[in-house]
Structure 1
Amino acid sequence: MLASYFFYGYWDWSFCLLLLFNAVVSYIGGLLLERSESESQRRWTLGIVVAIDLLLLGYFKYTGFFFESLQELFYSLGLERELPILEIILPVGISFFTFQSISYIVDVKNRQIQACRSFVDLALYISFFPQLVAGPIVRAAHFIPQLDRRPVLTRRMMAKGLFLILIGLFKKMVLANYLATLYVDEIFLAPEFASSLELVLAIYGYAGQIYCDFSGYSDIAIGVAALLGYHFKRNFNQPYRAVSLREFWQRWHISLSQWLRDYLYIPLGGSRHGTILTYRNLFITMFLGGIWHGAAMTFVIWGVIHGLALILERVSGFGRWTGNGRLNRLVGILVTFHVVCLAWIFFRSPSLSLALDYLAAIGKGTSEITLLTPFVAGLILLCAVGQFVPSRSYERCQVALSRTGLAGMTFFFTLGLLFIQWVSPSGTAPFIYFQF
């Protein structure tokens, strides 16, 4: 726990107090829920703890957006009114550790787990440094029981950790960084000067970049946890081979998808109360998922696109149709991928106007290719091929690495680190999901 707080405080020690306050509230709330016999009192306790978590998240994440929107409203009404400019620093990872604390307190209330008696264990669960700043979102029922037994670093766990760290570093430092610096950032900076082909390929490039960036972090986090003797579930599973949007969300950021399903979609009613309410619940879930990513219209539209696409899939039966036959699956993969890419334009663009400009530029782009190179095209192709390798390739590589013994694992890990350092560009951009 102290190591995790040191890790988080190395960026800004004052936010360790926020992390500690979150743990204290969750710890006290969990004990109160377990000791309470009255269902009414349990609901009130749950509501207060969740409200505190969401108020803190809302203050840090959405206050600035609220004041900016209010000022724009005043201007549109002809009221020249200057509102105070608040410089609020967003604590890294606040969304992730807030979601973990909410999942803990809800599970205690629903009697799916017992309240944690050890404050240190609960504080470690909320602050565990490998996944603290960008996930994956870990459930208390999965992690806290692992703290009750002595962690054992087996050869298989060591091989798993070393392999995932290497593959995560390669995804981030090589694939994601080259795609961003050599191509994607330049195209999105001035889309009006790019050709239509370059604009479309830049969307494909960003799809590869954000996948390699985020899944790379998840791989590193899961790998570091494995080296400490703890098991985390997989957070990405080749999402761009999905034949439907529903399957995409079963493969992309799995821990968030399952959190939204279990703590938002199902409590809203899920698919238990008829077709119309099911569509409503789907839309609300994806809409709020968009707002979770950021207080901007671009993220709202990103969520709306996914919400409407999921509804259209159910209405049309598209997901059932693409599950039968190779040709149908191919059509499903292509359609799903391009819907996801359409949404990525809004997710990547710094403003709504720039996103609309990007879409307009695709239709009237020039034919001259200036930034696209064979190297960039090769990176995009490599990202695409990686989505269709055998699904258990990671596990097979980990088994093969474990068979080399301690000396072999040390050799291959060191060789991999040196290779990544050699081929990666100088400097490393922050992980994209640090901002959430």
Structure 2
Amino acid sequence: MLFPTLAFGVFFLIVYFTAWSLDRENGRRKLFLLLASWFFYAQWDWRFVGLLIGSAVLNWAVAALIARDRERRGEAKGGGWLVGLGVAANLLILGFFKYYGFFVEEAGELLARFGWERDLPLLQIVLPVGISFFTFQGISYVVDVRRGKTPPAKSLLDVMLLMSFFPHLVAGPIVRASDLLPQFDRTPRLTREMAAHGLLLIVWGLFKKTVIASELSVNLVDPVFFDPTAYGAVDIAAAVYGYAVQIYCDFSAYSDMAIGLAALLGYSFPRNFDQPYRAASMQQFWRRWHISLSSWLRDYLYVPLGGGRKGLFASCVNVFITMVLGGLWHGAALTFLAWGALHGGVQVVERLFRAAVGDRRTVPAFVGVLVTFHIVCLGWILFRAESFGLAVQVLEGLGRAGPAVMLTPLLLTLIAGGLAMHWLPPRAVEGMAERLKTAPSITLGLLVGAAVLLVEAVRPEGVAPFIYFQF
């Protein structure tokens, strides 16, 4: 069930009116939202609802045991081995479903090179939608309980809802327990500003996904990346820039709609994108792109590895390892590892450069933006290509002459517009919501309705799944 569909619209209206009819019964309200979230998830594959429940029970139990052990042995001492057990269990679940086939195939190829061919047990495993997101959610919960950053949830219901809440379930943002559990403890309230903000985010996300991302995907990016040898440099360059816009509009649209849907139900999610293509360095890019994941990698991987506490060399090694593992999180393929290594390697170069020149600005900001954007685009080629061979064909095609057969004025306008939106006022939607919060409800409803009808009129047929559903 995709957000920009009639089926989801009907589902959400039922959830919205039922949830607010239970606003004086917070326990029943949370139970209803949990059941609705399981129904939502079951529309992809009902069999994995059990996995979702089991994962929540696992993390609830481990966190409760950690809290009890900390209380018994002392605030700073307890729960060490338990948190290790909890993290390992979560990673085992993720590793089995997401990486089993990859490692078996790689192991088979490695054995074959040494003349030790073996028939390894290769299973056909279905990847549960959103497993990376709810697994990381569970890990952050048990680690934060161990660190004392959040108390254990008061009930199993809260942990289940934390991990299953349908707006962020399948593609994030990765909402921390310290942000969401306190909101579950109190009866939510819907203010006019929250309603205006939520509705505007939903409409804005709907436009980015169904108009910009879908049009670029179907009519430019997918055909060119399917067979790069059939196109010249202009079309291939347009497809690379088009994919940069497509993946931003696709993923940020999901985050916008998730934040907006949660707001309409009375809950606040953190911002997940902040105009990433205006970043002047790769470090800045990761502070603006998929913020919930980059902060997760920082807090639960980079910092435990040692962060920058042991000097420049150690910090470079740690950031490189973090980005390579971040690449592997995105998919079980060597192209994703290479994508992570590219981002990590560039950040290492940036750190060494800053250490050499200090605080002196040696490069104009706009040059940093241009260089960073094109490095990111180089990475997107690895990210989008099905194999290294296709990625190489795309790069070779950038030097091949040929007529532009795919690029049209409409596609060029969408690419330019998708990049230009990074130079809008940084909080444009919030500012508009602030202005509209005093408007009469009928006025707000008419404006939102007109915007939805306009998007519906100009968008192409059908709705493709969000790119990040595969992760």
Q: TM-score, normalised by structure 2?
A: 0.89
What's the RMSD between the two structures over aligned residues? 1.8
1:149 Cα deviation after fit? 1.2
The farther-off stretch of 225-234 and 36-45 is 36-45
Q: How does 1:226-245 map to 2 (within 5 A)?
A: 226-245=263-282
Q: Is the 8 A contact 2:134 2:169 kept in 1?
A: yes
Deviation of 1:32 (Å): 0.7
Give 2:230's aligned residue. Answer: 193
- Could you tell me whether the CA contact under 8 Å between 2:162 and 2:177 is conserved in 1? yes
Q: State the 4+ residue runs in structure 1 displaced beyond 4 angstroms.
A: 318-325
How far residue 427 of structure 1 moved from its aligned partner, in angstroms, is 0.8
Given the alignment, which residue of 324, 336, 347 partners 1:310?
A: 347
Query: What is the deviation of 1:366?
Result: 2.1
Deviations 1:307-334 (A, max 9, x none): 0000101111299889959x71100100
Q: 1:127: which partner in 2?
A: 164
Within the candidate set 318, 321, 328, 2:364 is matched to: 328
Equivalence map 1:1-40=2 (5 Å):
1-36=34-69, 37-38=72-73
Residue identity opposite 2:353 in structure 1: S
* Unaligned residue ranges in structure 1 (runs of 5+): none
1:322–1:331: 8 Å Cα contact kept in structure 2? no
**CA distance, structure 1, for counterparts of residue 163 and residue 215 of structure 2:** 33
Matched letter for residue 191 of structure 1 = P
Match of 1:398 among 433, 451, 459: 433
The equivalences for 1:214-253 within 5 A come to 214-253=251-290
Query: Judging changes above 3 Å, is the alpha-carbon distance between structure 1 residues 407 and 321 closer, same or farther for their aligned structure 2 residues?
Result: farther
Q: How far off is 1:75 after superposition?
A: 3.5
Amino acid of the residue matched to residue 299 of structure 2?
A: D
Match for residue 269 of structure 1? 306
Query: Which stretch shows the higher mean deviation, 390-399 or 426-435?
Result: 390-399
- Cα deviation, residue 80, structure 1: 4.7
Q: Tell me the residue number matched to 1:384.
A: 419
Partner amino acid for 2:304? P
SS at match of 1:130: coil
Over 3 Å counting, the alpha-carbon distance change for 1:195 and 1:318 in structure 2 is farther
Alignment match, 1:370 = 405
- Give the deviation of 1:405 after TM superposition: 2.1
Deviation for aligned residue 1:76 = 3.0
User: Is 1:422–2:448 an aligned residue pair?
Assistant: no
Amino acid at match of 1:210: I
CA distance in 2, matches of 1:93, 1:178: 25
1:325-359 CA-to-partner distances (Å, cap 9, x unmatched) read: 9x711001000000100111000001111111211
User: What is the match of residue 412 of structure 1?
Assistant: 447
1:364-423: CA deviation from partner (whole Å, max 9, x where unpaired): x12311111111111100011101011121111212332322111211121111111111
Whether the 8 Å CA contact 1:60–1:89 is kept in 2: the answer is: yes
Structure 1 Cα separation of the partners of residues 465 and 114 of structure 2: 40
Aligned counterpart, 1:62: 99
Q: For each residue in 1:62-119, what CA deviation from the matched residue of structure 2 results, as whole angstroms up to 9, or x when unmatched?
A: 0111222223234433445443441100000100011111001001001111111211
Are residues 1:342 and 2:378 paired? yes
Equivalent residue letter for 1:54: L
Contact 1:235 1:255 in 2 (8 A): yes
Identity %: 50
Q: Is the 8 A contact 1:401 1:408 kept in 2?
A: no
Aligned to 1:177: 214
Match of 2:9 in 1: none
Q: How many Å apart are 1:43 and its aligned residue?
A: 1.2
Q: Distance in 2 between matches of 1:55 and 1:433?
A: 21
Q: One-letter code of the match for 2:396?
A: A
* Larger deviation, residues 5-14 vs 168-177: 5-14
Gaps of 5+ in 2: 1-33
Deviates more, 1:309-318 or 1:26-35: 309-318
Alignment partner, residue 14 of structure 2: none
How far off its partner does 1:174 sit? 0.4
Write the distance in 2 (CA, Å) between the matches of 1:376 and 1:412.
27
Q: Is the 1:244–1:318 contact (alpha carbons within 8 Å) kept by the matching residues of 2? A: no
Question: Take 2:438 and 2:114, find their aligned partners in 1: how far apart are those partners?
Answer: 71
Of the three residues 389, 396, 414, the one matched with 1:353 is 389
Equivalent AA in structure 2 for residue 280 of structure 1: V
Instruction: Tell me the equivalent position of 1:149.
Output: 186
Query: Amino acid of the residue matched to residue 424 of structure 1?
Result: R
1:435 pairs with 2:456: no
Partner Cα separation in structure 2 for residue 81 and residue 161 of structure 1 = 55
Give the TM-score of the pair, scaled to structure 1. 0.96
Once the two structures are overlaid, the 10-residue window that deviates more, 397-406 or 164-173, is 397-406
The answer to whether the Cα contact below 8 Å between 1:97 and 1:126 also exists between their aligned partners in 2 is: yes
Are the aligned partners of 1:322 and 1:328 in contact in 2 as well (CA < 8 Å)?
no
Q: 8 Å contact 2:234–2:403 — kept in the other structure?
A: no
Cα contact 2:323–2:340 (8 A) shared by 1:
yes
